[in-house]
Structure 1
Amino acid sequence: MSKWPNLFLVIISIPPSIFFVTCLFVALTFVISKIKWNKFDMRWVRSSIRVNLVMLNFLYLPLCIYILQNYSCTYDENTDQSYMSFFPWISCSHDANYQDIFKVTVSMTVLYIIGIPALFAYLLFNNRNRLDDPNVLIVVGSIYIDYRKKVWWYELVGLARRFVMAVSLALINPKSSFSVFVVLLVIGSSIISQLWARPFIYRISNFTELLGNSVLLFAYICVLILSSLKSSYQYDAIGIEVILSIVIVMYTVYLGIIFLFSLKYFLPKRYQLAFDNWFIKRLEDVKLWKMQYDQRNQIDPDDEQGYEPKEKIDPLFTRSATQQVFELKQRRLTQSTDFSVSDNNNTHTPGESPVLKPYKSEPNFNNLLDTTPNPNSNQNNNNNNNNQNNNIPTNQNNNNINQRRNS
């Protein structure tokens, strides 16, 4: 066992260790309840099952990586033998040591890599009609509680994504183009599925998931750029270190937020409700601040129309409804002026046909186009009407006036 991969042994021993600790805790609570002559509360058993499910979900990716990497072997031309890719001191031959490792790897593949998704699928599909049951929620709630009811199965998508990622990291040569394609495919499909399904209940969870995938994609692209620059002798150590440091800090903060957010499920129910209420209140405060900020920076509808010139400018290509009304009023005023001028210039005797005479003067349209209110306009209009009425005498009155002058 000393020649075995140490990390492989540590990873595969974590789940049974946690299971043993939880069983020991349940046994102690059972003994204490019997000593005190109290009824044993089955809530401790359900909580222990929930802790084990959370642990299996969290350890699925490292379990897949450290189990699958034992299948990869690399041929050595110097010794004419094959060695394990990640543990080159172990020969992939008929050595008894490797045969033992291979048998354990196959058993762990069935137990963890295939068994964990099968267990989650059985629990979800068997209880899909009772997801709101308190007992089911306590036991299996950690698998689907963060997702919307329509996408209660979305955790299986996450397990499949982690499995493909582990295969690309453990079995495919990281220097090959196929490995790059698989990694980009997994991250890209994660972003697309997140945008399409929006599985989480809280918007902040959807945002952090999308942000995490984006940061992961950015970090992987930085690694590709780093390797290409290093191979082409254009390696800028300081710049690349700064970029990778920023990426590592951002991803660490992101993982810290997710980890702190997931710790609430280990707390009692009242603390979970208190945390949810506090979190919802903070989100409402942010939403209220955004609404106030939008109202302060809202554009006035009058400002969207642009500046209006002081003097009226005739438009060349556009015509609005107000301009049409203004032109209609202008035409009416012009027609009324034409009639008044024609009455003054075209007088005729009764019984004779009217003879049209040319205009003696052209009407002044500037006064008609002036739209500014004049307080004396009504008085001027009355005087003009009186003058017009007085300036329309008949021919008979004109003859009487001439006879009086001659006499």
Structure 2
Amino acid sequence: MHIVFFGDQHVESSGGAQVSMRLQRQFLERAGHTVTVVAPRMHGRDFGDPAYVETPSIPIQLDREYSMTWPGARTDAFVDRALAERPPVDVVHVQADFWGAFTGHRFARRHGLPVVHTMHNRVDVGIQAVTPLAPLVLAALVRWQRWMLPAGPSLGLRGATRTGTADAAEDPRDVAETGPGDAVRTHLGGGAGAASTRESAGWRFLAGIAAGSAAVTAPSAHFAHRLEEHGVFRPVDVVWNGIDDAVLDVALATRAPRKDGVPRFVWVGRMSPEKRLLPFLEAVAESGMRAEVDIIGGGAERRAAERLVARRSPRADVRFLGRLAYRDTLARLAAADAVVQTSVGFETQGMTPFEAAALGTPAVVSDPDIAAELESGFWPVAEPLSTSALAQALRSAADDIDAGRAVAVNPEIAERFRQSSRTSAMLEIYTRVLSA
């Protein structure tokens, strides 16, 4: 089949969604399918890859890595011309939240194609993290979405409309069902319509861009639950972002036995407030533990983090390694005694603890949603936003590692996290929406 990805950013730019899309394309092509990727042109770079349809764009950062394509008639015509020269499209896979989402859904509507929409981001939390004007920005986004994707018949699995699910009741799967400890939920064919979407412009926005989808996927069960809970779409399929099988095999084959010495912790991420690097470094100092702590990544808070370490003089040896290549990061995770996850409520999956678990490395986990997804193999932070509780969890982890009783990771993670299994799961969804 021919699958067309739509993204907000070029897949060769940095970012978790972009890494996932590159890997998805690679494994879909190995399985014999054709993939085209539609995304804004990246300024100053020419990739010459025939799979890319690079839409006209303007840079939106000083380093020109990220770009924006204004959605609308001109972009629609550009995409139509580019895809007319390629094999007939079977499935549109939108993996975007803004201009890429609008362009992808508009293309699918024009050509009567089913849409699978992967939600990678918590739009509301992300915008709140970068601007004090978040309510105004979110309200503007909702209006923009309604303008770009006006109400009308959707291409959902069972003919649901933007504002209701009248046809869905004819399907025998549309029955209330319960599980142990679960509230009753009804399977709807898609679209918004839940009263809870009034609670937040962010959820209303996501509901609006999901409304025309035949299926919606999320990279974790906890994010899928929130999407359903807030009326964005029901049911949401859970398909984790994965790790390249070959890279995982090499990392596992070269993993060395633990060396003697103090416990080794690693923190990986973007140095921005929502990732909570500064509270982590405060907790390292407060813990008083003897350890090696490697910080991988870059961002606006690096200087503040370095100043904090200089001021607090923790007993642990804290090293800032900067941005590393993906394989080098995995090697650091494999060599560590524990990875530390500190963001709370922000991650839609939280890749690092899963990558570490796949390599056999346990984690200190602040976010209870991520802890539940891992199931085992971690030291929980009793009060997720408490620096003192994080310090206590770090001390417990260091003591257990020193004593040779570190927690064992969930052995199922490595197999469930392989990209080959994730691609198989996504192909089942493609087949389902094509047969509906």
Establish whether TM, by shorter chain, passes 0.5: no
Computing the radius of gyration over CA atoms, which structure comes out larger, 1 or 2? 1
- Flag the structure with higher strand content: 2
Q: TM-score, normalised by structure 1?
A: 0.27
Choose between structure 1 and 2: higher helix proportion: 1
- Which is bigger in relative contact order (C-alpha 8 A, separation at least 6)? 2
